[in-house]
């Protein structure tokens, strides 16, 4: 190993995210660490992530404190070679050999970070982050996890960033281990493979020199012979108490004392930006219809009598109807894009990634079932339950939280009938399902009490007109009212 100090910079952890909040250090200055050992927990706009070290050696300096927001590409940790004695941190000095001595100037850090972000971030599978290889020096002690800082709950949604035609090489040179290029992968790729039971040894990397890319692992996950095998992630740190009151701070407009000031950052910052973009760019319209769900409830009750332990939930059946409806009305499973030159196009997809809103301790998140159109109601139910579990643990991957093409929102669990939902940008439509309650309903000319719910569809009027939106909504409603016949045709 080189005798020079290694400076590891905060990597792009997926989907082109530009910053992350440092939740907790897992090591301290003086610790002996090995390659791929987790060194810190950070929270991005997507999820909680453990960042592994790309180097073995002695921790020389930690560049940041818990609760601090760090930019991608800025120094995260400095590591001295194995056997070296870490020196006391020095004040930054503008010298030509600053990097080689382990001291990074502010100007260098900013320039390197900007280069890193420009060349590395991409949201369609081309994220190229060279760090982390098998093996390494003998492991040293690991500090116990400290209490976490406050986490603001929200619905993590981020628009994919346009991917370059080919992965770029130069910016990753400082984060790779010499001689190990073909085995080097990002921690996001490594975690994705581990969570889905994919062997990295069996993957031929499509990147330069055989580098394994995120798209390579995604292809292995979606392959029929490589079923997902989710791991049991460690329990996410508990949220800290609410922000303390700003004692003595009076609001000039109301004259009232300010009880708390909550910084908008991390997940909430990403959500605010995404929702604002949705409302600003999408000319949305809404259609809704009341639906008699009695037959669907009766059918599920009968199935439950026959098979009590693996009967799909109502949301899984509705999800099955939605995927069938999107095949008939594909305009709602698209994306509206505007090019840098002002040109516009509607992008269609060969497949459906069905997102669904899930309430967690961190707020409302939207994981997505990939290739949902290929799954039965029972398979959809299993995947919805799996994704809900990992989302609530804060361990859902950026791909699981940011790859949807259409969103299904069951807000009926909150006891409401309808909602004027904000479309999950950059998607073009969202279907909401209200609570199911007893209502008077006319059946065969006679009044009776039925189980009724309300379906609400918000859609982007740029991609289709009301006839298409109404046709899709009516199709899903008819499936709910006649589930046996609908499933027989699917």
**Catalytic residue (one of 63, 196, 373, 461):** 461
Asked if 187 and 132 count as a contact pair (C-beta separation under 8 A), the reply is yes
CB atoms under 10 Å from CB of 281, counted, come to: 15
Cα separation, 406 vs 455, in Å, equals 15
**d(C-alpha 77, C-alpha 39), whole Å:** 9
- Lookup result for tokens 């989710």: 230
Phi (first) and psi of residue 196, to 5 degrees? -105, 10
Active site residue 63: no
| CA-closest candidate to residue 438, choices 304, 297, 303, 313 | 297
- CA dist 444 and 313 (Å) reads 29
Question: Of 8, 4, 10, 59, which Cα lies nearest the Cα of 34?
Answer: 59
Contact assessment for residue 42 and residue 70, using Cβ atoms and an 8 Å cutoff: yes
Contact indicator for 324, 374 with CB cutoff of 8 Å: no
E strand or H helix at 33? strand 32-33
Beta carbons within 8 Å of 17's beta carbon, 6+ residues apart:
44, 45, 46, 72, 121, 158, 270, 398
Please answer whether residues 143 and 31 qualify as being in contact, where contact means their C-beta atoms are separated by less than 8 angstroms.
yes
Q: At a CB cut-off of 8 Å and minimum separation 6, what does 336 contact? A: 282, 344, 345, 346, 347, 426, 428, 460, 462, 463
Residue 309: which residues within 8 A CB-CB, separation 6 or more? Answer: none
Catalytic machinery residues: 461
């Amino acid at each position: 190993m080189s005798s020079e100090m290694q400076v590891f910079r905060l990597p792009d952890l997926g989907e082109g995210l530009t910053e992350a909040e440092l939740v907790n250090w897992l090591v301290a200055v003086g610790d002996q660490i090995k390659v791929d050992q987790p060194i810190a927990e950070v929270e991005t706009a997507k999820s909680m992530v453990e960042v592994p070290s790309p180097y073995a050696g002695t921790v020389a300096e930690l560049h940041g404190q818990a609760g601090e927001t760090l930019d991608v590409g800025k120094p995260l940790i400095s590591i001295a070679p194995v056997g070296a004695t870490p020196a006391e941190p020095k004040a930054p000095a503008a010298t030509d050999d600053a990097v080689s001595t382990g001291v990074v100037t502010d100007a260098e850090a900013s320039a390197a970070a900007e280069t890193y972000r420009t060349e590395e971030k991409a949201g369609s599978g081309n994220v190229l982050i060279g760090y982390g290889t098998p093996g390494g020096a003998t492991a040293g002690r690991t500090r116990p996890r400290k209490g976490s800082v406050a986490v603001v709950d929200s619905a993590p949604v981020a628009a994919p960033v346009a991917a370059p035609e080919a992965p770029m090489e130069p910016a990753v040179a400082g984060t790779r281990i010499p001689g190990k290029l073909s085995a080097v992968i990002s921690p996001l790729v490594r975690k994705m493979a581990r969570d889905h039971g994919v062997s990295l040894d069996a993957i031929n990397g499509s990147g330069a020199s055989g580098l394994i890319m995120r798209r390579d692992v995604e292809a292995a996950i979606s392959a029929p012979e490589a079923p997902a095998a989710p791991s049991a992630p460690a329990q996410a740190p508990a949220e800290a108490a609410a922000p303390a009151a700003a004692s003595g701070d009076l609001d000039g407009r109301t004259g009232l004392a300010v009880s708390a000031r909550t910084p908008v950052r991390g997940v909430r910052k990403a959500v605010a930006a995404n929702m604002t973009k949705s409302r600003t760019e999408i000319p949305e319209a809404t259609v809704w219809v009341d639906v008699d769900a009695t037959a669907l409830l009766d059918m599920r009750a009968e199935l439950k009598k026959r098979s009590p332990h693996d009967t799909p939930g109502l949301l899984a059946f509705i999800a099955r109807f939605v995927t069938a409806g999107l095949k008939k009305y594909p305009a709602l499973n698209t994306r509206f894009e505007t090019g840098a030159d002002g040109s516009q196009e509607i992008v269609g997809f060969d497949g459906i990634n069905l997102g669904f809103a899930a309430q967690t301790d961190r707020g409302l998140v939207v994981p997505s079932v990939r290739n949902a159109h290929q799954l039965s109601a029972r398979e959809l139910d299993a995947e919805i339950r799996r994704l809900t579990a990992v989302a609530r643990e804060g361990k859902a991957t950026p791909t699981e939280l940011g790859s949807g093409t259409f969103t299904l929102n069951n807000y009926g669990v909150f006891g409401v009938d309808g909602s004027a939902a904000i479309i999950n940008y950059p998607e073009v439509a969202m279907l909401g399902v209200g609570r199911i309650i007893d209502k008077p309903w006319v059946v065969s000319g006679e009044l009776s009490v039925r189980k009724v719910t309300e379906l609400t569809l918000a859609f982007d009027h740029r991609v289709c007109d009301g006839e298409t939106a109404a046709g899709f909504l009516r199709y899903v409603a008819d499936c709910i009212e006649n589930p046996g016949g609908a499933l027989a045709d699917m």
